[in-house]
Amino acid sequence: MPEIQRRLAAILAADVVGFTRLMEAHEEGTYARLAQLRKEVLDPGVAAQHGRIIKNTGDGFLATFDTAREATRCALSLQEALATTSAGVAADQRISFRMGLNAADIIVEHDDVFGEGVNIAARLQTYAPAGGVVVSGAVAEQLGTDFDVNMVDLGDLRLRNIRRPVRVYALHPHQQPARLVGEEPRGAEPRPSIAVLPFRMNLANPDEMYFADGVVDDIIRGLAGLKELFVVSRGSSLGFGGRISTCAR
């Protein structure tokens, strides 16, 4: 077995919003615009923050950085540059990204990276709005209180195929007002939000409530694997316990 190389890194995972729809409607144009964005915005933007693009995934990319601050500055600056560059493009042809950041100890190869930390970054980006950035609690902790950004706590989210919940924060530059959970910026591709609320149980033995809680956890875990939905964390809906039945909005 070859020796395994590990190191601490910040991982940036990005994905094009509605890529399948864009390719179906404007295949050659989408491909050309994405290639141009990679050359003129993405590659130079990552390099400017001392990052390295590990691989392009067709509809996104994966990059690593030495520090969480460099990765965060990169993600925010890329989103700003992408918004400026795409401002003149028709809304149905506009390319926008969701971005997720995590900080972890990862396995490093010459041209690839592996590990749970990488998987978490990839899962996190699905919770970002179009043109937005979300980060794990590990990244938020390293940013500290002096980093020039607003953070909205999304709670502990259950990510697909990740057993333990992950604390997640949405980032907004100070010049942009923080949005409510699940609220999309004007003109962005809408994504429905859903909250699973605790069951209202009429049980003779209150100790059996754990069964209802387990069902709620299972439902949230299953829905969290759907990229098309924004799933509100269980912690955000605990206050409704005993008052209302499971519903969605």
The domains of the chain are located at: 5-172, 193-240
For the chain, the 3-state helix, strand and coil shares in percent, each to the nearest 5, are 40, 25, 40
Which H/E stretch holds residue 222?
helix 209-224
Cβ(97)–Cβ(41) below 8 Å: no
Burial of residue 43 (number of CB atoms within 10 Å: 0-12, 13-18, 19+): middle
What pLDDT sits at residue 211?
A: 62
CA 212 – CA 232 distance, rounded (Å)? 18
> What's the whole-number mean pLDDT along residues 18-45?
93
Is the CATH number 3.30.70.1230 carried by domain 5-172?
yes
- Tell if the pTM clears 0.85, that is, is over it: no
136-146 per-position pLDDT tens digit:
999 999 998 87
Beta bridge partners of 168: 136, 155
